[in-house]
Amino acid sequence: MSYIGPMLRALLQLPRSVWLIGLISLVNDSASEMMYPLIPLYLSGVLMAGPKALGLIEGLAEAIASLLKLVSGVWADRTGRSKPWIMAGYGVAGLARPLIAFATVWPLLLLLRVLDRIGKAVRAAPRDALLAASIAPDQRGLAFGLHRALDNTGAVIGPLLAAALLGAGVPLQQVFLWALVPGLACLLLSTALKESAAPPQPQARIEWRWRGLPLPLRRYLAVVAVFTLGNSSNMFLFLRAKELGVSEAQVPLLWAAVSAVAAVCSTPLGHLSDRIGRLRLLTAGYVAYALFYVGMAWFAEPGWRLYLLFGLYGLFMAATEGVERALLADLAPASQRGTAFGWFNLLLGAVLLPASVLFGWLWEGVSAAFAFGFSASCALLAAGLLVVWVRPHATADVRAAAKTTIRP
């Protein structure tokens, strides 16, 4: 394609801080994703709990941590500093995750998942704000796409390590302990981060309230919340795969396939959003999500068809994860960027509680197909709202910021 050459040249010209943030995310995800596909297996096979408990654990962990996602973003804006929050977040998560090996009842697992999510909550908004401040507006899609690509590369490495350890006969609990090694490496790498060359000036007062955000940004965040209501914990996908007959050792490989597709496609799709506009690509990503969940409800079966479906899910991730954040940076004023990312992460965490609990109840109370169909409906509704509610009310400046001029 004609944009591959310019994209590669632009990648090489990205600031060192963009690459370092991506590398840290790669190492961190190799630790978290080593464990992530195994938690529902540990919960059901060792702790003897089902979908309701899984929904409660994942939803409550995100909800409890969600308030900190806004607080860390607001304080990053107030102080003009992101690095302390980023280091603290990686440190808490890196130490909490291996302790899951010692959980003997599911409430203890819930506590450790809360600590892990608190670590993510503390670092997420300041990290994204630092990334946005390190790059020109017309390269945000590329930069966030690269970040997601490196993040998902770690999400490939983690499950492969887990599968290798399990295949070598390492007990499930000891696999969790191995997550300590990349967790500590991640914390060490984060010490090399530097604040942006021109960080936002510390502000004595930041307008952090919802009504203080620009109208297009508020509408966009509301649509993201609608989508998230149907975007319950990915752990239900692993539970569904196990229900369909996929072996315990193959579950991490399925997730590695998802992350591999996302890693390969995130950077080119992020760069594409710089060219064609982020709303268009994000809408397509939400539709891909709906198709995937319809497939998981009625057409999934072990074998190539299931891997194909999970590949589609990886494509959805590549088209949305970086683009959602790049669009948020376009819509937010520079002085409120940390706050905007805080609101973004707050809404994701707060809505995930009812999303995951509702999904678990629909699964056990009605059927798995009904639960997956509900999620697909939320995604299609969000895609429609992006087209009819967000896009027409975006200002000319916002639309221009969501695109880049194509250079020869």
Share above pLDDT 70 across residues of the chain, in percent, rounded to a whole number: 90
Q: What is the pLDDT of residue 204?
A: 46
Q: What is the pLDDT of residue 201?
A: 53
Share above pLDDT 90 across residues of the chain, in percent, rounded to a whole number: 28
Highest mean pLDDT among 72-81, 107-116, 252-261, 264-273: 264-273
Q: What is the pLDDT of residue 3?
A: 61
Residue 408 has pLDDT above 90, yes or no: no
Which domains can be identified in the chain, with CATH numbers?
Answer: 4-195+211-401 (1.20.1250.20)
- Are 66 and 120 spatial neighbours (Cβ–Cβ below 8 Å)? no
- Tokens encoding 36: 């992530």
Residue 102 has pLDDT above 80, yes or no: yes
Mean pLDDT to the nearest integer, 14-28: 92
Query: pLDDT band at 45, cuts 50/70/90?
Result: low
Q: What is the pLDDT of residue 200?
A: 52
Mean pLDDT to the nearest integer, 354-368: 90
| Tens digits of residue pLDDT in 139-198 | 888 899 899 889 889 888 988 888 888 888 888 888 889 889 888 999 999 999 988 765
Query: pLDDT band at 407, cuts 50/70/90?
Result: very low
Q: CA-to-CA distance for 325 and 114, rounded, in angstroms?
A: 24
Residue 400 has pLDDT above 60, yes or no: no
Q: What is the pLDDT of residue 381?
A: 97
The pTM score is 0.76
Q: What is the pLDDT of residue 48?
A: 64
- Tokens encoding 343: 């609101």
Residue 404 has pLDDT above 60, yes or no: no
Looking at every residue in the chain, the average pLDDT score rounds to: 83
